[in-house]
Structure 1
Amino acid sequence: MIEQTLTVSELKGNTAWLISEQKPACEGCNGKCGSQVFSKLFGTHKKAFPLPNSYQLNVGQKVKLALDDSKVVQHALWVYLLPLLMAFLGMFSALLIFSLPELGQIGFAIVFAAIGFVIAKMKGQSLKHEVKVIKIYPISLPVTQIDGD
């Protein structure tokens, strides 16, 4: 199981929008490693994850979510492998069945890869939101000093 703790950032209707906390890179290499470079290139844009608010969540509350590892691998196979296999299928069918020249083979490969992307996207929708709520943390109240104490 892949687990991640997220914070409720916003409530809209019956949907709680969760954002993850930015994890800093290791800094063991003084910013010369790949993770630091990619972090600088792509910024720290946080994506919000929608979750039905059937748990009566409040803004600022932390929620631990889990995703089954097998679903991630399955999704990756559909998204990465299917378009590639479809491109090869298109290329080889253009060569062996239609005896097209190289430009025709490239065209068939692009069309078949696009069909693979569409199929992968449709299949990916069914795998997209199979997330389980593991734990809901209570909101911690700030400690304040009362006059006279």
Structure 2
Amino acid sequence: MIEQTLTVVALSGHVAHLEAQQKQACEGCNGRCGSQVFSKLFGTAKKTLPYKFETQLEVGQKVTMSLDDSHVVKHAFAVYMLPLFLSLIFALIASELILLAEGWQILAAILGGITGFLIAKTWVKSLRHEIKVIKIHPISLPLTQIDGD
């Protein structure tokens, strides 16, 4: 199970819009690795997750949720491997069975990659996540110092 603590940033009735705290890909190399270079290039746009709760929440409240690991593996296979496999299969069919020239083999590989992408896109839409609420954290009161303490 993958667990993440999210913060409520907006409310619409019983639907809370949750936002995860952005984390650096790696904090050990002080910005010299490829992961941090790419994160700086592509930005860190914050995305929210709408989720319907049975209890009323408040903005700023924290919620711990979990996701089953098997869904992540299915998504990764569909998005990364399926277009690659179909691209290779289309190229091999074009070269070995149909005996096409190199340019047509490249075009067949591109067509296979696009076909794999379209299949993966419809397959990912059909996969459903089982997101479970583990804990709803209470709102903490701000601490103030009283004179003389």
Residue in 2 that maps onto 1:53: 53
What are structure 1's unaligned runs of at least 5 residues? none
- Name the amino acid aligned to 2:123: K
Tell me how far apart the structure 2 counterparts of residues 54 and 111 of structure 1 sit (CA, whole Å): 47
Shift of 1:38: 3.1
Alpha carbons 2:6, 2:18 under 8 Å: kept: yes
Q: Mean alpha-carbon deviation: is it higher for 10-19 or for 130-139?
A: 10-19
Q: Which runs of 5 or more residues in structure 2 are unaligned?
A: none
Deviation track 1:119-148 (CA, whole Å, cap 9, x = no partner) reads 1111112335322111111122324579xx
Question: CA offset at residue 45 of structure 1?
Answer: 1.9
C-alpha distance in 2 between matches for 1:35 and 1:128: 29
Sequence identity percentage: 58
Distance 1:103 1:46 in 2: 42
The residue number in structure 2 matching 1:85 is: 85
Q: TM-score, normalised by structure 2?
A: 0.83
3-state SS of paired residue (1:78): helix
Cα distance in 1, alignment partners of residues 27 and 87 from structure 2: 40
1:39 matches 2:39: yes
Match of 2:142 in 1: 142
Distance in 2, Cα, partners of 1:104 & 1:55: 59
SS in 2 for 1:83: helix
Residues 16-60 of structure 1, C-alpha deviation per residue, up to 9 Å, x if partnerless? Answer: 211111235664433323343233223332111121233432221
Query: CA RMSD of the aligned region, Å?
Result: 2.5
| 1:88-127 paired onto structure 2 within 5 Å | 88-127=88-127
Deviation at 1:14, TM superposition (A): 4.7
Change in 2 beyond 3 A, CA 1:12/1:103? farther
- TM-score in terms of structure 1 length: 0.83
Question: How many equivalent residue pairs?
Answer: 148
CA distance in structure 1 between the partners assigned to 2:129 and 2:55 by the alignment: 17
SS at match of 1:76: helix
Question: Comparing 51-60 with 85-94, which one deviates more in the overlay?
Answer: 51-60
* Distance (whole Å) between structure 2 residues aligned to residue 97 and residue 25 of structure 1: 45
Q: Could you give the per-residue CA deviations for residues 60-119 of structure 1, whole angstroms, max 9, x where no partner exists?
A: 111111111122112111111111000011111112232211111111111111111111
